[in-house]
Amino acid sequence: MSQIQLYSAVLCPFAHRVRLTLQVKGVPFESIEIDPQNKPTNFLEISPYGKVPVLKHGDNRVWESAIVNEYLEETFPDPPLLPTDPMQRAQARIWINFADTRLFATTGKLLHGRDPHPTTLLNELSEHLLFMEHEGLRKNPASAPYWLGTELSLVDLTFHPWFEQLAVLEHFRGFGLPSGLDRLQEWEAAVAEREAVRSIANSPEFYLERYGRLVQAKF
């Protein structure tokens, strides 16, 4: 049995960011698929918040994807996915926090809400993306492919799953990317091209089909 088990769900972008980190670091793990809509009865014994992802390492467990990723970074430091400079590390954590408290938070409200015309949330999402473009990527030299510059980091792996599942927002919520996200689109193409990212990527059709089934079951 592998030393590491990941309680995960294919549609979960938080679980995906952990799978990406394990993949980039070449850490072998066993993936245990959980259906968040139909959790095993004893799931709270595994996951105190009742959510995926949860990482089990030997007898210990870690949850909350941002914390799981930092645990993996400290436990398997090669290749490093956070800068060594404390100020740059702080910047990386600010963007990871931005992803959780803004980009994914608004996305969650959009996907789980029932408003047929969620204009305010759609606008909010566009504002988050424009903020990422202007306050994030445009402050880097144009030649830097990744969020923090020349090296792939946890910030890239945190944001990427949102872009991989963009088709779901477009199809089911009528979201359209605002214009002027040139750097963001170049950045996403560079991340999506990485071998580790490609090796576990799913197509837009995969997400549309799975999400479609979920919507049918839910409403």
Ligand X SMILES: N[C@@H](CCC(=O)N[C@@H](CS)C(=O)NCC(=O)O)C(=O)O
Interacting residues toward ligand X by CB under 6 A: 9, 12, 14, 36, 50-53, 64-66
CB of 183 to ligand X, least distance (A): 26
Residue 105 CB, shortest distance to ligand X, in Å, is: 10
Of 69 and 91, which has the nearer Cβ to ligand X?
Answer: 69
Closest approach, Cβ 85 to ligand X, in A, equals: 25
Mutual angle of helices 13-25 and 65-75, in 10-degree steps: 10
Residue nearer to ligand X on the CB measure, 39 or 134: 39
Q: How far is the CB of 180 from ligand X (least distance, A)?
A: 29
Nearer to ligand X, 14 or 162 (CB): 14
In the complex with ligand X, which residue's Cβ is closer, 100 or 170? 100
Compute the least distance from the CB of residue 139 to ligand X, in Å.
26
Pick between residue 53 and residue 145 the one whose CB is nearest to ligand X: 53
